[in-house]
Chains A and B, each alone.
Chain A
Amino acid sequence: MSETLIGALFVFVLASFAGFEVITKVPPTLHTPLMSGANAISGIAVIGAMVVAGPKDNNFIVIMGLVAITLAMINVVGGFMVTDRMLQMFKK
């Protein structure tokens, strides 16, 4: 196994632990916004998609990358905006 993979696994495990610690006690009021906000963050795949679709060499790969960018951006923009819409409604 290559060292980069081990390094990446290291990052993954640490990030997971950090994630569990950061998001511990969430009041039920915020369950939906937390989910849709986190969901928007999972649209981070757009970065990978841009890297994949970046070079112009192969049509098949570029098309897959472009489709991935579009889907991920719907996820990102839709997710953040809908979360904001919900949070706007929460009043004391």
Chain B
Amino acid sequence: METFLPSTIQLSYIVATGLFFLGLKKLGSPATARQGNTWASIGMLIAVVATLLDTGVVNYPMILGAIALGSVIGFIAAKKVEMTQMPQMVGLLNGLGGAASALVAIAEFYRLLLEGSVPIPATVTAILGSLIGGITFTGSFVAFAKLQGLIGGKPMSLPGQKLINIFLLGLFLAGSVALLISPSSNIFLVITGISLILGLFLVLPIGGGDMPVVISLLNSLSGLAASAAGFVVMNNILIVAGALVGASGIILTVIMCKGMNRTLTNVLFSAFGGGATGSGGVAADGTEKSYRQVDAETGAMMLGYARSVVVVPGYGMAVAQAQHSVRELADQLATRGVEVKYAIHPVAGRMPGHMNVLLAEANVPYSQLYDMDDINGEFDRTDVALVIGANDVVNPDAKEDSNSPIYGMPILEVDKAKNTIVIKRSMKPGYAGIDNQLFYRDKTAMYFGNAKEAVADLVSEVKQL
């Protein structure tokens, strides 16, 4: 019995780990994704129940209470959250995972300290655990605050931010060395505090439009934090599951960086999107550039009599919650025999796959959603490209102007379509703070307004055709 129970627990962990792997693998394909998520959650259930059997766990009422409390909060949050709030939700959950991992590392370090001796490996891993977990925690909360609109989306930094960061890192390293020489709970608290501050300073200078990268990276870090906590308590399931999440987060981070043609370092440390305020609409020689404006009626005629329409949604659609109106417009056009497709840029919106989630919520079948590489070849055969609240991801400067800050970023080539309608609130530049040449092209028609109202107006006009 003495060896039976621990082996049973370990064996359950192996089963749980297998379920995590299979679950994540299945999450990679639309047909099996839901099943994959269920398998992973069953794995988690097995792991939690098995751990309750651990003879070291005697604090049942409190532990069960904490599990119940967390589950209820998680349940309510998952039921209540709006699909448009998904980036914030994921950001928040990343942060909580990171915080939990950091707390595990800190508590275990403290326990070893009380027992009299902390082995060097435990100290090193505990330091890493509190560093990664701490950064994930506060970094995620800043990301949450930016996405929720609690603080502005613009990059924020203190004067001399780089020097401050270097100083903090130095302090952190010095504290770590001191801990290795002689473990102390006070120094550990100090370096934990520094980790928390570093998390703030890491994400505050990053602009809202770079959030897809940040969220993916924090996702990865939340996994690595769990791994680090696993090293501290020497538990394989934490190490493996954490590594798995770390890997999946890195994969997404790389995809997002490629979508913007920028390196991770550039995203993290260049405070992109804050510099230029961009007056917009003024040509190099100082003259006002002209653009064509349309109203709902003309727009509806262009769309209604087209053979093919490609909808390009962006963050503006998410902000205005226009996805349902967009779907309605697509339905109206479809009944008139217009072929409607959606073109999704990898970094459209504020998190990986943001547009896909919103359109799915509005019941748009995912077979109508096209990735950048699949749709770009079709624009020259498209009658009307309808850009809704997207800007930088359709800016032809990315291909044509080597001086542009976004030069080299892969874009949706809507400028190749026979006509383009851009729904936008004003001529103001987008996130990157640069003017968009697309708006001044002869084939482009600007339709100003809030995305939801503008699309709704188009719907009623199309109905009257």
Contact = CB atoms under 8 A, between A and B. Distances in A.
Interface residues of B, number: 114
Given A19-B244, A22-B24, A47 B238 contact: yes
B223 interface: yes
Contacts of B110: 58, 60-61, 64
A11 B238 CA distance: 11
Contacts of A42: 94, 97, 101, 219, 222-223, 225-226, 241-242, 245
Interface in A48-92: 48-56, 58, 60-62, 64-92
A54 B70 contact: no
B304 interface: no
Contacts of B54: 50-51, 54
B255 A31 contact: yes
A12 B90 CA distance: 25
Nearest to A67: B103
A62 B103 CA distance: 11
B84 interface: no
B360 A91 contact: yes
A50 B37 contact: no
A35 B352 contact: yes
Judged by DSSP, the binding face of A is: helix
B236 A29 contact: no
Contacts of A62: 59, 62
Contact of A35 (B77, B238, B249): B249
B365 A5 contact: no
Contacts of A26: 27-28, 251-252
Interface in B72-122: 73-75, 77-79, 81, 83, 86, 89-90, 93-94, 96-97, 99-101, 103-104, 106-108, 110-111, 114, 119-121
A54 B24 CA distance: 30
Contacts of B119: 2
A80 B37 contact: yes
Given A12-B239, A54-B59, A61-B114, 14 more contacts: A2-B121, A8-B239, A18-B21, A27-B29, A34-B28, A48-B235, A51-B56, A71-B70, A71-B97, A73-B70, A75-B100, A82-B81, A82-B89, A90-B30
Nearest to A56: B59
Contacts, number: 383
A2 B74 CA distance: 39
B20 A41 contact: yes
A11 B233 contact: no
Interface residues of A, number: 80
B44 interface: yes
Given A5-B121, A50-B52, A75-B74, A45 B225 contact: yes
Given A30-B28, A53-B62, A91-B363, A37 B40 contact: yes
Interface string B348-389: 000111101100110101110101000000000000000000
Contacts of B28: 22-27, 30, 34
B301 interface: no
B124 to A, nearest CB: 9
B247 A23 contact: yes
Contact of A30 (B20, B23, B30, B250): B30
A50 B66 CA distance: 10
Given A58-B114, A87-B37, A53 B243 contact: no
B93 A78 contact: yes
A77 B48 CA distance: 12
Nearest to A27: B30
A55 B59 contact: yes
B298 interface: no
A54 to B, nearest CB: 4
A92 to B, nearest CB: 6
A86 B38 CA distance: 13
Contacts of B418: none
B244 A49 contact: no
Contacts of B106: 64
Contacts of A19: 24, 243-248
B410 to A, nearest CB: 13
A47 B371 CA distance: 39
A39 B90 contact: yes
